[in-house]
Amino acid sequence: MRKALMGNNAAAAAVKLARVEVVSAYPITPQTQVVEALADMKASGEFPGRFVRVESEHSAMACLVGAAQAGARTFTATSSQGLAYMHEMLHWASGARLPIVMADVNRALGAPWILWTDQTDSLSQRDTGWLQFYCSTNQEILDSLLIAYRAAEALLLPVMVNYDGFTLSHTYEPVDVPAQEAVDRFLPPLNYQYALDLANPRAFSALPKPKEYMRLRRRMAADMDRATVTVAAIEDEFARAFGRRYAAVEPYRTDDAETLLVVSGAPASTALEAVDRLRAEGLRAGSLRIRQFRPFPAAVLRAYAGRERRFVVVDRNFSMGHHGIFCEELKSALYGVKGRPKVFGTVAGLGGGDITVELLEEIWRDADAGRLDEREPLWMEDAR
């Protein structure tokens, strides 16, 4: 049944449907409603799992590391500085191969004090060994969390589902909340094969020799490498079960497009409208939405680089001393491709600046006309 839900409601609904056993979280704007909703559901008995209150995000992740090691299905949610505070435990979660799932409601980082969205929080966790998805709709938040548990438990790697603060987290739109039985068929109970077992006490993740450490890291890299294929198979299964299809990279009107907008998160939805408006003028516009950031779907993206083409990336994030992060990742993926397309980088909407249809059209026109410089990111804003 379709209901008007905020992104944060959709996340909480997914946690309940996934039959999560342990939630531990610390509230922070704009994630707060996720925690509030779960606490309400716990109080009313609607959510039968454990809800562990903690004094910080660092403790929240530490709590989940323990719970996941004991074999529980786990969840947390955070934003911005809260995610930054979790940082060292994120490495532990992935290194210990724990299938933890979290929602990060993208919010810019201070100073100065800032509440609104950008992706610098989650992209700062790029190298922690978590899979990362970026959602464009509230429906996708719910669906991605269900997909995330399947992926995490198949790969024994943690998954972070990201969505734009306020633009998705606080915006109401229709969301189809699937029936519990359908979710149960898609997502069976977790059976974590390395769970703590009182009958067979062992040490976990104790000090290895460098040789062992290298091999464990190589195994983790190999599991990350197979993640794109594994997730695609889970997304296929999800589409068969629920009628909604997702992919690591989602193309729109790309077939004869000369210049492609490359966007992630909620602005990727706005980009579809920008492409249609440009097409209505007879311009050969298209877009690529990057939904999966880790592992980076390099092979998928290379398939769109076959011809003389221009890509213009809209990054709502920035790596100081370098460029927009999606742009750099795309350039790296396309290195060595014959007839390499031009890749332009733009930075827009940091700290919640509005990424409008008009702004995306303007960015596309600048790129299409070759008015951008590949070496320099262009900073753009909608002045309204």
Angle at 120 between CA 9 and CA 92, to 5 degrees: 80
Stretch that binds another protein, among 109-117, 119-127, 153-161, 198-206 (CB under 8 A): 109-117
Nearest approach in angstroms of CB 4 to another protein is: 4
Question: What sign does the dihedral 162-164-170-174 (CA atoms) show?
Answer: negative
Alpha-carbon distance of 220 to 218, in angstroms, equals 5
Question: Any contact of residue 158 with another protein (CB under 8 A)?
Answer: no
Long-range contacts formed by 325-334: CB under 8 A, 24+ apart: 325/119, 325/123, 325/126, 326/262, 326/264, 326/290, 326/293, 327/262, 327/377, 329/293, 329/296, 330/262, 330/301, 332/298, 333/296, 333/298, 333/301, 333/302, 334/301, 334/302, 334/305
Distance from the Cα of residue 11 to its chain's centroid: 13
For position 359 contacting another protein by CB under 8 A, the verdict is yes
Residue 355 binds to another protein (criterion: CB under 8 A): yes
- For another protein (CB under 8 A), the number of binding residues is 40
Q: Is 199 in the site for another protein (CB under 8 A)?
A: no
Interaction between residue 98 and another protein (CB under 8 A): no
User: Residue 176 interacts with another protein (CB under 8 A)?
Assistant: no
Which position among 42, 50, 126, 170 is part of the footprint of another protein (CB under 8 A)?
170
Could you tell me if 348 and 359 are in contact, meaning their C-beta atoms sit under 8 angstroms apart? yes
In angstroms, what is the minimal distance from the CB of 323 to another protein? 15
**Which of 16-24, 80-88, 150-158, 355-363 is the region at the interface with another protein (rule: CB under 8 A)?**
355-363
CB nearer to another protein: pick between 112 and 210: 112
Please report which helix (H) or strand (E) contains residue 273, including its range: helix 266-280
Nearest distance from C-beta of residue 250 to another protein, angstroms:
13
172 contacts another protein (rule: CB under 8 A): yes
Question: Within 13 A of 21's CA, how many CA atoms are on the CB side?
Answer: 16
- Of 260-279, binders to another protein (CB under 8 A) are 266-267, 269-270, 272-273
Contacts with another protein, residue ranges (CB under 8 A): 2-4, 111-112, 115-116, 136, 164-168, 170-174, 266-267, 269-270, 272-273, 352, 354-359, 362-363, 378-384
